[in-house]
Amino acid sequence: MSEQARRADQQQSTDLRTALATGATRLAEAGVPSAWADAQALAAHALGVTRAELARLIVLGGPVPDGLPDLIARRAAREPLQHITGRAAFRGLDLQVGPGVFIPRPETEVVAGLAIEAARASANPLVVDLCTGSGAIALAVADEVPTARVVAVEVDPAAHAWAARNVAATGNRVDLRLGDVADRRLTRDLDGAVDVVAANPPYIPPDGTPVEVEVSLHDPPLALYGGGDDGLSVPREVIAAARRLLRPGGLLVMEHAETQAEAARSLVAGPGWADVHTVLDLAGRPRALVARHAGPAARG
């Protein structure tokens, strides 16, 4: 390689690295907590390469994406990274997301993991994901427990459409149903036969404000606010549906806010439930209610 070519390559690499550093600085000034990682993700998206390939381009020299400043500006305005790229990672899945659907987050991976672990304890498990949103929990179960029959329910047509895209894109076997978890007609065929009910329902109380700007500005309110004075109206409906759907010994796993652990446990304090406990998320915060069905399913 000539000296001129070597200098050109070095300049190109420096430019890409500088563009990333400049972008990360702007994101940090805008309050984005993962500024450097987001700048890299946006550059990789703009170039159409993986993060590993981006790292190689930084070292060896590569083009600075023409659209990177615009992408950085959108992220600095606190548009979710997942909306800009159109993708969200969830366990081993790459899900399609965008306006109109709740972006799955790492906390919910704990809920999915609990559902997967419980499903693996049965030979041919039947798993129901209530308030499925993008389909994240349902698709994770279908992906990691190949013997499972998975049914997913979502009330919001916009979110249901995103879930349908993900079911089609992943090729996973998920029976996706549009409707309210409180509508018994929607899942009556499953009464008393389900091994695991998993849910990440809306649970923020009416006076609550999401901590993340991206959540408050971009996630659909229907996926955030649980109704009632305590935000637990929808979770109560989830528990009622689980009581009907689960076979004796079947497991309920339901996400809740870190401040709702005691209140969530009180919702399953009756004689129909056993082994009630709270599971912490990866940050050590109370995150999921777990309870086992202790008696005959309620029908009607």
pLDDT of amino acid 149: 97
Q: How are strands ordered across the β-sheet holding 273-280?
A: 174-178, 149-154, 126-130, 194-199, 246-255, 286-293, 273-280
CB 54 within 8 A of CB 8: no
What mean pLDDT, rounded, does the chain reach? Answer: 91
Nearest to 149 by CA among 168, 169, 176, 131: 176
Q: What is d(CA 133, CA 167) in angstroms, rounded to the nearest whole number? A: 12
Q: What is the pLDDT of residue 8?
A: 39
> What's the confidence (pLDDT) of residue 96?
97
Residue 101's pLDDT band, with cuts at 50, 70 and 90, is: very high
Which amino acid type is present at position 66?
D
3-state helix, strand, coil in the chain (%, to 5): 45, 20, 35
User: Assign residue 280 a region: left if phi > 0, alpha if psi is -120 to 50, beta otherwise?
Assistant: beta
Task: Give dist(CA 111, CA 200) in Å, integer.
Answer: 8
pLDDT at position 4: 43
pLDDT at 14 exceeding the cut of 60:
no
Q: Encode pLDDT of 232-286 as tens digits.
A: 999 999 999 999 999 999 999 999 999 999 999 999 998 899 999 999 999 999 9
Q: Which CATH architecture has domain 88-293?
A: 3-Layer(aba) Sandwich (3.40)
Nearest alpha-carbon partner for 122 in 158, 81, 95, 150: 150
Look at residue 290 and tell me whether its pLDDT is greater than 60. Answer: yes
How many angstroms separate the CA atoms of 283 and 287, rounded? 10
Return the domain boundaries, the chain: 3-77, 88-293
Which pLDDT tens digit goes with each residue over 51-85? Answer: 899 999 888 777 888 899 999 999 999 999 999 99
Closest to 41 (Cα-Cα) out of 101, 108, 94? 94
pLDDT tens-place string over residues 205-224: 988 878 788 888 899 999 99
- The answer, as to whether pTM is greater than 0.85, is yes
Cβ neighbourhood burial of 230 (10 Å; 0-12, 13-18, 19+) = middle
- Cα 61 → chain centroid: 35
Tens of pLDDT, residues 146-188: 999 999 999 999 999 999 999 999 988 899 999 999 999 999 9
CA distances (Å), 139 to each of 26, 144, 204, 236, 258, in order? 36, 8, 24, 24, 25
State the pLDDT confidence band at 1, using cuts at 50, 70 and 90.
very low
